[in-house]
């Protein structure tokens, strides 16, 4: 007797492997498919963790877009790719969806190398309209006819780049569809049946034909009457739809419509698909972040980013922290300094909880500012505050500060304004992968004259460095610290100002000098212990500063050791380059010391656990030892010992 398998919870989704399969379904089945897709996404993210709320909000929109448009021939570009989990499930990646953000698994964002259905990679926001316009113009130049659709939202409209792209698109005769996923009601008036009817009407061919005929008539009128008629028509449409801003930017505006109602979405998207006029169209879709999953709907952040969780209750798995996170230590240290100095201001660019500025805001709401996804503005806003004697802390992820480099150079560095940059997520970040890794800040800030650049070796050093930044009043400064937990060291009761450009020696030795800049210090100490087993005495130093450099310490270490190794959680061009440049100009490398800089490799590292990423990058204790032994001509001894004793081999 054979046992029957239980019926599938997702019978329709089981038949949809690619969007072509989806387009074979009758429209009446799409509601059920959307429900199954939402359930599949919730279950998958409960296992892997990741971004949940944004994807839940676009389930129906994702189904409708792939149903109406002929993807992948039609190009569908998702802004802030963490909205795209439902899209991944529908585009041939369902079998791998439970590998999201895991080593060797699917990326948490859209990625060109992952699928032909991802025409543009996106992990930083507000790029979709620019990229889509480029694809639309390329299509026109090649004489093709495919649709190009950009889906922007989840805060991405707070960035100026989106409006720059819209302004450009509106002045061009290129057919482009922009879907504005308005998931926080910041723009939209109420939506309902009347709004859906009007959206369907103004996107219909008959309405557009009548509008074109009316325009043809008004073209024959005298200029004053023609202009008056144009303004009246725009005003009337603006009163009905609320889309005056987008019309002024040159877009044909449709909306707002309910993004969870397929009966509203499908006819409007079909009308937009069938438009042949060479102009951009914006469809304003209102959605709810976290929609369809009660715990997410009830949460303040709509479960924007989650760890593993229980699907039934929504309770996230609690991992007992061995030590406070660097982010929390920074926030507490800044709050403590702000208690003493009312000139301290905290700024962030749409990441208040990620940077700890939400904690600062609870204590000092009048001195805390979240400027939205607008890093360029954040930097120059901070510069303006600094001109008036305030002490702004621009608290921005290292990878996001890249977006404001011109402002850092022109508005801060050249004017030598004391803006304090607190760079969270410095170094490798694990599951978020290359797009969010803070790999380049030491290099791109270190080349700017007058900058003070610090890196915290542990959470106690972080507290002292916050106090040091508070005291720097004559130049810009940057403090970098990693993601995740600290090392559990004893925290000081209050921060103490460090002497600028002075490092510290933690262990004295004679053969090898290991100079760490940042949180690799503990790996350097472990490497020193391993070197001792080979009869090699190692000095371990914490540089603390990349600029100004502790030249006395560097000169001494180069003079007194056979091998000198620098190690940092950053790219070439950073701390090691600063040291090497100084020693070379001093002539310290002409004879004697064998200098070996250890940096992140010249590749974008795949997402994985941070420990595995650092091992792959060659920035762990085993690789420090191997580097030292190779410089001494004893790498064979090391490899033989590793084989016998089980030491980790690089």
Q: Is the pLDDT of residue 397 over 50?
A: yes
The whole-angstrom separation of Cα 537 and Cα 399 is 37
Query: So what's the pLDDT on residue 187?
Result: 40
Query: So what's the pLDDT on residue 197?
Result: 47
The whole-angstrom separation of Cα 128 and Cα 282 is 13
Model pLDDT for residues 148-177, shown as the tens digit of each residue: 999 998 778 888 899 999 999 999 989 999
Q: Is the pLDDT of residue 58 over 80?
A: yes
Single out the residue of 256, 290, 265 nearest to residue 188, CA to CA: 256
Q: Is the pLDDT of residue 518 over 80?
A: yes
- Give pTM, 2 decimals: 0.88
For the residues 569-590, what does the mean pLDDT come to? Answer: 96
Contact 397, 355 (CB under 8 A): yes
Question: Considering the chain, what percentage of its residues have pLDDT values greater than 90?
Answer: 73
**Tokens 């309209």 belong to which residue?**
129
Q: Is the pLDDT of residue 242 over 90?
A: no
Average pLDDT across the chain, whole number: 89
Query: So what's the pLDDT on residue 317?
Result: 81
* pLDDT confidence band for 249 (50 / 70 / 90): confident
Model pLDDT for residues 128-150, shown as the tens digit of each residue: 999 999 999 999 999 999 999 99
Contact 520, 610 (CB under 8 A): no
How many angstroms separate the first and last alpha carbons of the chain? Answer: 55
Query: So what's the pLDDT on residue 195?
Result: 44
CA atoms within 13 A on the CB side of 449: 4
The whole-angstrom separation of Cα 71 and Cα 53 is 24
Question: Considering the chain, what percentage of its residues have pLDDT values greater than 70?
Answer: 88
Q: Is the pLDDT of residue 491 over 80?
A: yes
DSSP letters, 133-159, are: HHHHHHHHHHT----EEEEEETTGGGS
Tokens of 584: 């070379």
Query: So what's the pLDDT on residue 260?
Result: 95
Q: Which residues have a catalytic role annotated? A: 289, 375, 403
Q: How many residues does the chain have?
A: 650
Contacts of 272 (CB under 8 A, 6+ apart): 177, 203, 254, 281, 283
Q: Is the pLDDT of residue 645 over 60?
A: no
Q: Which residues of 433-467 are buried (b: 16+ CB within 10 A; e: fewer)?
A: bbbbbbbbbbbbbbebeebbbbbbbbbbbbbbbbb
């Amino acid at each position: 007797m054979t046992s029957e398998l239980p019926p599938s919870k997702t019978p329709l989704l089981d038949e949809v492997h690619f969007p072509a399969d989806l387009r074979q379904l009758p429209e009446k089945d799409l509601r059920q498919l959307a429900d199954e897709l939402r359930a599949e996404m919730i279950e998958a993210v409960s296992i892997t963790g990741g971004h949940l709320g944004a994807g839940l909000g676009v389930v129906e929109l994702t189904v409708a877009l792939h149903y109406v448009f002929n993807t992948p021939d039609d190009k569908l570009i998702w802004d802030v790719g963490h909205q795209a989990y439902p899209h991944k499930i529908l585009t041939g990646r369902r079998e791998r969806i439970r590998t999201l953000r895991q080593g060797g698994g699917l990326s948490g964002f859209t990625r060109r190398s992952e699928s032909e259905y991802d025409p543009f990679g996106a992990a930083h926001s507000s790029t979709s309209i620019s990229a889509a316009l480029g694809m639309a113009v390329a299509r026109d130049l090649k004489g093709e006819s495919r649709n190009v659709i950009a889906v922007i939202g989840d805060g991405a409209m707070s960035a100026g780049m989106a409006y720059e792209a819209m302004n450009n698109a509106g002045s061009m005769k290129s057919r482009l569809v922009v879907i504005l996923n308005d998931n926080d009601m910041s723009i939209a008036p109420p939506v309902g049946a009347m709004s859906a009817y009007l959206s369907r009407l103004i996107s219909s061919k008959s309405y557009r034909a009548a509008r074109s005929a009316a325009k043809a008539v008004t073209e024959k009128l005298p200029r004053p009457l023609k202009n008056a008629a144009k303004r009246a028509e725009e005003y009337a449409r603006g009163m009905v739809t609320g889309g005056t801003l987008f019309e002024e930017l040159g877009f044909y505006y449709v909306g707002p419509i309910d993004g969870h109602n397929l009966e509203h979405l499908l006819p409007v998207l079909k009308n937009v698909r069938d438009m042949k006029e060479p102009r951009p169209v914006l469809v304003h879709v209102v959605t709810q972040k976290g929609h369809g999953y009660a715990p997410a709907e009830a949460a303040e952040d709509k479960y924007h980013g989650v760890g593993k969780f229980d699907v039934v209750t929504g309770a996230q798995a609690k991992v007992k922290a061995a030590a406070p996170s660097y982010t929390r230590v920074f926030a507490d240290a800044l709050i403590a300094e702000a208690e003493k100095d009312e000139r301290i201001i905290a700024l962030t660019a749409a990441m208040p909880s990620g940077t700890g500025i939400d904690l600062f805001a609870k204590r000092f709401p009048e001195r805390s500012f979240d400027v939205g996804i607008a890093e360029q503005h954040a930097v120059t806003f901070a510069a303006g505050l600094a001109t008036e004697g305030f002490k702004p802390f621009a608290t921005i992820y290292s990878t996001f500060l890249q977006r404001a480099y011109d402002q850092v150079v022109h508005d801060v560095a050249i004017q030598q304004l004391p803006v304090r940059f607190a760079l969270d997520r410095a170094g490798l970040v694990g599951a978020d992968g290359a797009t969010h890794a803070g790999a380049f800040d030491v290099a791109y800030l270190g080349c700017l004259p007058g900058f003070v650049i610090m890196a915290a070796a542990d959470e106690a050093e972080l507290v002292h460095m916050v106090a040091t930044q508070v005291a720097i009043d004559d130049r810009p400064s940057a403090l970098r610290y990693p993601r995740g937990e600290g090392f559990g060291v004893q925290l000081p009761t209050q921060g103490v100002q460090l002497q600028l450009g002075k490092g510290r020696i933690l262990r004295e030795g004679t053969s090898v000098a290991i100079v760490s800049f940042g949180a690799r210090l503990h790996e350097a100490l472990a490497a020193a212990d391993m070197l001792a087993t080979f009869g090699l005495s190692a000095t371990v130093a914490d540089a603390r500063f990349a600029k100004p450099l502790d030249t006395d310490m560097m000169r001494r270490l180069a003079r007194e050791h056979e091998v000198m190794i620098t190690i940092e959680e950053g790219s070439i061009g950073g701390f090691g380059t600063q040291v090497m440049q100084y020693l070379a100009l001093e002539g310290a490398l002409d004879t004697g010391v064998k200098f070996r800089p250890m940096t992140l490799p010249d590749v974008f590292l795949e997402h994985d656990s941070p420990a595995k990423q650092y091992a792959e990058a060659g920035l762990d204790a085993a690789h420090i030892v191997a580097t030292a032994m190779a410089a001494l001509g004893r790498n064979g001894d090391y490899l033989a010992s590793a084989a016998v004793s089980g030491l980790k081999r690089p």
